[in-house]
Amino acid sequence: LEVDPWEMNNLFFEEEYRDKVVEMQGELADWLVRTTRPKTVLGMRVRGRGFASSPQERVWFLLALNPENRAYEFHSTLRLRGPLDVSILEQCFNDLICRHEMYRSTFREVDGEVLQIIHDPWKVNLPVVNLTATPQALQKKRIAELTRQAALEPYDLSRLPLIRWTLMRISDSDHVLVH
């Protein structure tokens, strides 16, 4: 299986948007340096709940100020060439969810403190968009549209899932995974 992470990665980003993200990152870095304060309790957990880390609190705070802020979201695409068993890929994602608490975490504010709530593993049902019947001339455009839609779909930090994947089937041996 050949994976090409760069071929599809920037299809949906327009130059103006990239410039704005770079500008916002600089402003955000300045703000973080000015406002970072050490936490007295780190990683304390009680029955699946724990205090959010300082970086998690900052994300919560910034999203509370501006729910449209996408600065902390990461989206990527991978081109997968070769035979692909979708059920095995889906099982890999399910194993990842089971193994790593960060993929099962949500956040909630209680009494002025941001808490990280760690949930039981949830089952990934990988959506597959079949583009095999789409004319080849339109496939790239359709992939760009679907990638853009996935990137613009907002996350709610208080509800799972906080990670999503979509697989686009171009042919039996050619796929694009949007993350």
Q: SS3 of 22, please?
A: helix
Q: Does the pTM of the predicted model rise above 0.75?
A: no
pLDDT at residue 145, rounded to an integer:
94
pLDDT at residue 174, rounded to an integer:
96
**pLDDT per residue as tens digits for the range 33-85:** 555 544 433 444 444 667 888 888 888 888 888 888 777 788 889 999 999 99
Gyration radius of the chain over CA positions: 19
pLDDT at residue 7, rounded to an integer:
47
pLDDT at residue 28, rounded to an integer:
58
Lookup: tokens for 49: 């709940």
pLDDT above 90: residue 171: yes
Task: Report d(CA 31, CA 27) in Å as an integer.
Answer: 6
